[in-house]
């Protein structure tokens, strides 16, 4: 029997990741000395929580944090996969001093 919902639940992933970002970046200003630890923590904690959902997915989580300066940052992604089972969601977050973009890619494991 198929216990998993059909397809990737993007809303659920969005909420999980947003909580991770809030916990790590909430209330802090961009700081060159800390930002590498922050991006690593965001991807690792997000990944841990996603895996804990216990669904048969492989996950890729990417995070970009940029200091606000008026410069342009543009991102794009393209995927070659099974559109019925695989999915993605993008979480955008910002405060006064930085922008954060997290992408989650979920690829169904066919057993």
Nearest to 36 by CA among 65, 74, 76, 73: 65
Token pair in block for residue 71: 């410069």
For residues 23 to 62, the per-residue mask of contacts with its own copies, x marking binding by CB under 8 A and - elsewhere, is: -------x-x--xx-xxx-xxx-xx--xx------xxxxx
Question: Which residue among 63, 87, 89, 93 contacts its own copies (CB under 8 A)?
Answer: 63
Contact (CB, 8 A) for 51 and 102: no
Residue 87 structure tokens: 């999915």
Residues that bind its own copies (CB under 8 A): 30, 32, 35-36, 38-40, 42-44, 46-47, 50-51, 58-82, 86, 88, 103, 105, 107, 110
């Amino acid at each position: 029997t198929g216990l998993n919902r059909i397809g990737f639940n993007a809303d659920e992933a969005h909420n999980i990741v947003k909580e991770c970002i809030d916990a790590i970046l909430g209330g802090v200003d961009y700081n060159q000395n800390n930002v590498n630890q922050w991006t690593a923590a965001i991807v690792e904690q997000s990944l841990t929580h996603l895996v804990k959902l216990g669904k048969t997915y492989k996950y890729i989580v990417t995070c970009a944090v940029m200091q606000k300066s008026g410069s342009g940052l543009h991102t794009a992604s393209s995927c070659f996969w099974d559109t019925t089972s695989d999915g993605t969601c993008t979480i955008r977050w910002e405060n006064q001093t930085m922008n954060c973009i997290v992408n989650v890619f979920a690829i169904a494991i066919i057993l």
